[in-house]
Structure 1
Amino acid sequence: MTDIDADVIVVGAGIAGLRCAAALRRRGLTARIVEAGTAPGGRIRTDVIDGFRCDRGFQLLNPSYPAVKRHVDIDALDLRVAGRGVRIVDDSDAVRTVADPTRHPTLLLETVRSAVGLGLIRPRAVAGAVRWALPAVGSVRRLGSAPDAALADDWDRFGLRGPLRDSLLAPFLSGVLADGVGATSDRYVRLVLRSFLLATPGVPNAGMQAFPEQLARGAGVDIMYSARVDRVTDDTTTPTVRTADGTVLRSRAVVVATDAPAAAALMDTETSSMRGLSTWWFDADSADSDTFLRVSGAGGSVVNTAEMSAIAPGYAPTGKTLVQATTLLGAAGPAAESVVRAELDRLWGRSTSSWRVIVRHDVSHALPAQAPGTPLRRPLRVGDRVLLAGDHRDTPSIQGALVSGGRAAAEVARLLG
């Protein structure tokens, strides 16, 4: 038999690849990860600039995800959670607060006033919202097999219209889903809603990259960094991976754990449509010490903004304030800085002209688009000894990436006997 470099070569040190390698090792198989970047994480990376921790795209870790509970040491990450609710800036530029009274009891009266002022509690809309959301608190298996439609169409079907939809749900979810028109699978959105109901998302105090770094340490396998793969060759016994510098690695199986476009380029498979986001990071000269996400109830380019240093003090040097602002990234490119600043002036109720742009991250492949009817789990095997893993094979989330990595490891173990 031809000498091999490992039982399994995993292409990509993102969340799916790291989880796959760890699961393979626990099954007694050797694995080596080949990663184009200089650190683990894939799309989850943090740049430290002038002492500020700027994640490559605004991202949160939800501790309620079942795979996170099983495979991540949340306490070791020092997870700092955002406020459980949202600040909505309405069309009169008034700031309205909708908060969970069980978490923020002192905001109960303000939440009631905001709900009344925004018109969120109109009986027909509330009844429609309850009917729409009810499956999210039921069986995940039943929810996953339910009929599917575009989110906007299902809201119409349930009679969910008016301010509750336009000023709260749609603005909030547009940033979560990278979808400004409600084209996402309603079935998937209910799964997202379920995760928000179960726990409040947050960020590690040292930045989101602390999460994949923990996975990399726990995987206990060799990771080749700065090694871009340009070819994967399938074989009935010994598939190979070739890197850009000509290095050829042999194994008994290969798992391509990249994002969908990269996997399609390597394996000539059908790719998933991707949605993009731009995140602006500002060194702000003033602070509200506000942990709540802010959205515009009147529309606009900025889908959300947050004072990250209030949520997680480790994101900024002592005495400094770090604010993020996220916009959708489409074919026309990122929003103009003047547009973003004008909207931030309104969202924060002050001039932001003195705020210094630290960096802007344009992530064109932020999330796979989960169109209506897309299976929540897709096949992994694309050859005799080659498999795919990633959030494009399950749900477009950290949960999906972790699950797909575990699935790939289990399938490889069955394949290799």
Structure 2
Amino acid sequence: MEKEDYKIHIIGAGISGLIAATVLENKGYSPIIIESSDSAGGRLKTDVIDGYQLDHGFQVLLTAYPTAQHYLDFKKLSLQKFLPGACIFKNKKAKIIGDPLRNLSLLLPTLFANIGNFSDKIKILKLNAKLKKKSISDIFKDKETSSLTYLQDIGFSDQIIQDFFKPFFSGIFLEPNLETSSRMLEFVYKMFSQGFATLPKDGIKGIIDQLISKLKKTTFLYNSPVQEVKDGVIYLKNKDEIKSDFTIIATEASGLISNLKNQEIDWKGCDTLYFEVDNRIIDKPLIGLISDPKALINNIFYHTSLQTTLIPKKELISVTIVKEHQLNQEELKQKVIDDLHQYCGITGCKFIKHYPIVKALPKLQNLQYENSHTETKLTTTIFLAGDQLLNASLNGAMISGERAALGIINTLEDGLIV
């Protein structure tokens, strides 16, 4: 059988599925992506509302991600860089801290910010030096503890943990107590220190658009939710049956495979709300962190501090919430407006959009950086992909898609199935 004659299906048009299709195409195959919704992207989507680009949740691309460097053309994405620092709101005052070795403009604000003590600053320098030398593979081999315990064991003060580490990493891990694995903290910390946090000029969907533009032999079946997957056949919810030589499940597999029904993944959720405001109180492209433990909001960002394809009329601010709450949309909107005023001094907020993201990141233990292509094989013809198999990151999602595709390629090239 010729390569293009194999019926290879990928369930899910998120980042893992698109990378799997890319690898298969590069080896001469013509995959088919089955997507339940009407568009590709999964969690990486951008809407245009009222003349603003709204990502589905506050997300960034870290340029130090090794796999992203391999599969993405950063230059064509027109990546807009955040400054390597943060604006911390404490006692109704904004204090800027950052890495002056990477941006000199952050030197004086950091010196006078009064965030943490002198010992904390020394420990940060030591942690930077340690993680610069530590390989990614070594990070994911180390014993796991919670991120909070990790920081406490280093000896960071309660003040800097509360003022900086908690709001900063809570916005990344999407949980307020830093229960996430210390492996993830070390990995993300290393990636931030070796590269930049960025956003494509078109919004986060620019990543998806670029990957799709490179796919020339891949077919997309949208609005096609899958009911069940078995060796050789895919059953759609509309009762259609699709014959398949190989299938990659690039989404949560527990609901699609009968013997995985009791292995559902727990997910972390968050809320992101967008508002139009007249003015920016953070005049640089810095994330804003709210350190007060009584606040519901965790972090804010003025998206108009970066260049976007659309020219904004006023200023656009996103607000992220990672704490659990029982508020309906109107109550949540008002609480966020109140918090913005109380903790940040921000007024005049015109509500634009609320994104409640129920499945934002998987809750994982025993985090891994990568897996072998053989570990992606569930059955003779069914392979698994998705960041839930490794670690909750864009980089992890890309690696898992790559390895699942290589699993199929190696099965065919080794002559295990003809």
Pairwise same-fold verdict (TM > 0.5): yes
Of residues 256, 259, 280 in structure 1, which corresponds to 2:249?
256
Q: How does 1:226-305 map to 2 (within 5 A)?
A: 226-234=223-231, 239-258=232-251, 260=252, 263-268=253-258, 269=260, 270-288=263-281, 289-299=283-293, 300-305=295-300
Q: Does the 8 A contact of 2:136 with 2:369 survive in 1?
A: no
- Corresponding position of 2:53: 53
Q: How does 1:288-367 map to 2 (within 5 A)?
A: 288=281, 289-299=283-293, 300-314=295-309, 317-328=311-322, 330=324, 332=326, 336-351=332-347, 354-367=348-361
Q: Which runs of 5 or more residues in structure 1 are unaligned?
A: none
| Shift in Å, 1:413 | 1.1
Q: Does the 8 A contact of 2:81 with 2:199 survive in 1?
A: yes
Measured in 2, the distance between the counterparts of 1:70 and 1:377 equals 15
Measured in 2, the distance between the counterparts of 1:209 and 1:357 equals 22
Q: How does 1:20-59 map to 2 (within 5 A)?
A: 20-59=20-59
Measured in 2, the distance between the counterparts of 1:333 and 1:376 equals 36
- Corresponding position of 2:171: 175
Q: Does the 8 A contact of 2:176 with 2:323 survive in 1?
A: no
Computed over aligned residues only, the root mean square deviation of the Cα atoms, in angstroms, reads 2.1
Identity of counterpart residues, as a percentage?
Answer: 23
Q: Does the 8 A contact of 1:303 with 1:328 survive in 2?
A: yes
Report the 3-state secondary structure (helix = DSSP H, G, I; strand = E; otherwise coil) of the residue aligned with 1:13: coil
Q: Which amino acid aligns with 2:247?
A: V
Q: Is 1:84 matched up with 2:84? A: yes
| Shift in Å, 1:129 | 4.7
- Corresponding position of 1:15: 15
Q: Which amino acid aligns with 1:290?
A: K
Q: TM-score, normalised by structure 1?
A: 0.90
- Corresponding position of 1:95: 94
Q: Which runs of 5 or more residues in structure 2 are unaligned?
A: 414-418
- Corresponding position of 1:225: 222
Measured in 2, the distance between the counterparts of 1:156 and 1:231 equals 46
Q: Which amino acid aligns with 2:352?
A: I
Q: 1:391 to 1:252 in 2, by over 3 A?
A: same
Report the 3-state secondary structure (helix = DSSP H, G, I; strand = E; otherwise coil) of the residue aligned with 1:280: strand
Q: TM-score, normalised by structure 2?
A: 0.90
Measured in 1, the distance between the counterparts of 2:9 and 2:130 equals 40
Measured in 2, the distance between the counterparts of 1:200 and 1:346 equals 31
Q: Which amino acid aligns with 2:301?
A: A
- Corresponding position of 1:140: 136
Q: Does the 8 A contact of 2:367 with 2:390 survive in 1?
A: no
Report the 3-state secondary structure (helix = DSSP H, G, I; strand = E; otherwise coil) of the residue aligned with 1:163: helix
Q: 1:144 to 1:350 in 2, by over 3 A?
A: closer
Question: Which digits, 9 at most, give the CA deviation of each residue in 1:21-71, with x for residues without a partner?
Answer: 110111222210011122211111111112111111111111111111111
| Shift in Å, 1:343 | 1.7
Question: Which digits, 9 at most, give the CA deviation of each residue in 1:132-188, with x for residues without a partner?
Answer: 565422122222211111111222222223222111111110001102111111012
Measured in 1, the distance between the counterparts of 2:376 and 2:327 equals 32
Q: Which amino acid aligns with 1:232?
A: V
Measured in 2, the distance between the counterparts of 1:329 and 1:253 equals 41
Question: Which digits, 9 at most, give the CA deviation of each residue in 1:277-301, with x for residues without a partner?
Answer: 1100112122344311101122221
Question: Which digits, 9 at most, give the CA deviation of each residue in 1:92-130, with x for residues without a partner?
Answer: 21111002223432331121000xx23x1332x445555
